[in-house]
A and B are shown apart, each in its own frame.
Chain A
């Protein structure tokens, strides 16, 4: 293992090697005999380096100067330019891929159903987006605001108990539990009813109440249930899709 030379000694040895002051060199060696070999090596290094100038520069005759037509450009600059270009391209591709693959699907996915023009209410246009930011605890997903297929009216199991309350109040309770919107006429809203249901869907509750209090609930499958006064011959409920099918078949 080589001995580590103190910085001051190393600096002094380089100074002596540069100046080649013989008296100073002798003085140094007499005081630091341990570093004699190191000093001689540095003197040799500096001497060799200085002497190397001679062969490289002798007998060089300057040719007549003619400016070159073109001077090759700096390749490193070109490489840097290419690198920046490639980097920007990779960034653009990555941004596109991330946007395309990982953006919320609701904003990109088209509606699975054609616009429903039947479900209307005063002051509301058909299929108007309804912002609903509360998570659906039953399915573990967040409701999106676009009109997509919504089966919560027939899938969410709920229990409800009321005694002598307006029908509108029961509708609001069902709306909050089943995450649906119930659209009804004012005549029905004010009707006082009593209801007691356990482990049923919103549609099942509405169908049963419809038979009792004379209204028909129609599931639009887009998060809306329309409640109309009166009952049909088949029962108190129906769906938009069934009606559509009937219209198509009937021509």
Chain B
């Protein structure tokens, strides 16, 4: 069966809960702290799923707005970051589906060219091409695992499934990515 190397789980104490409690108690600055802490991670998730910087910025604002309004629904059974990433993943996939038709008509070269504003130091354009060909769900799984270094348990909670299901889905996503990545290399 699939082999996904499990990452070490972080400590059980979630210091974010303190900030959440403070915000729910009326301290607006607590939310500012959460926003500052997780903005970059949420942006990375949104950027990875949407493959578009501008759309990712919009998605991040929507994600934090949703969290700001519905933080009272956070039941504290999981870590705040996991809950936040779940909102981010769902919202980004939602947006990606909305723009799916448009995305299909965009030339892949154009998608890669959009990355020109980013530092070109280490990225392989074939990765972006392969990611662009994957579904938003596949991209979400790969990003959470390889970019955000989440454990399988956190990924499972972030996408709303069991650990074994997350493992299987991640394996399949990686396999699809590999096939496209290798084909892209051969074409080049």
Contact = CB atoms under 8 A, between A and B. Distances in A.
A67 B68 contact: yes
Contacts of A74: 94
Interface string A57-86: 111101101111001101110000000000
A155 B107 CA distance: 81
Contact of B178 (A45, A60, A68): A45
B115 A53 contact: no
A67 B35 CA distance: 11
B44 interface: yes
B84 to A, nearest CB: 13
Nearest to A69: B65
Interface in B1-49: 1-5, 31-32, 35-36, 39-40, 43-44, 47-48
B161 interface: no
Given A11-B3, A42-B178, A54 B94 contact: no
A71 B66 contact: yes
B123 interface: yes
A49 B146 contact: yes
B122 A54 contact: yes
Contacts of B97: 75-76
A18 B62 contact: no
Nearest to A55: B118
Given A56-B118, A57-B44, A71-B66, A49 B3 contact: no
B123 A51 contact: yes
A62 B40 contact: yes
Contacts of B61: 65-66, 68
Query: Mostly helix, strand, loop or mixed at chain B's interface?
Result: helix
Nearest to B182: A41
Interface string A9-36: 0011011001100000000000000000
A52 interface: yes
A59 B64 CA distance: 20
Contacts of A51: 122-124, 127
Contact of A52 (B39, B119, B131): B131
Contacts of B169: none
A85 to B, nearest CB: 21
Contacts of A57: 40, 43-44, 47, 147
B123 A12 contact: no
B82 interface: no
A71 B61 CA distance: 9
B48 A56 contact: yes
Contacts of A50: 146-147
B181 A45 contact: yes
B137 to A, nearest CB: 13
B133 interface: no
B3 A45 contact: no
A11 B1 CA distance: 7
B142 interface: yes
B79 interface: no
12 contacts: A11-B2, A18-B4, A45-B178, A48-B124, A51-B122, A55-B123, A56-B48, A56-B115, A56-B147, A65-B35, A67-B65, A72-B62
Interface of B: 1-5, 31-32, 35-36, 39-40, 43-44, 47-48, 57, 61-62, 64-66, 68-69, 94, 97-98, 115, 118-124, 126-128, 131, 142, 146-147, 174, 177-178, 181-182
Given A55-B118, A56-B44, 19 more contacts: A11-B1, A14-B2, A18-B3, A18-B4, A41-B178, A46-B146, A48-B126, A52-B127, A54-B119, A55-B115, A55-B119, A55-B123, A65-B32, A66-B61, A67-B65, A67-B68, A68-B61, A71-B62, A76-B97
Closest 9 CB pairs of A and B: A55-B118, A62-B39, A11-B3, A53-B147, A18-B5, A52-B127, A68-B65, A57-B44, A48-B124
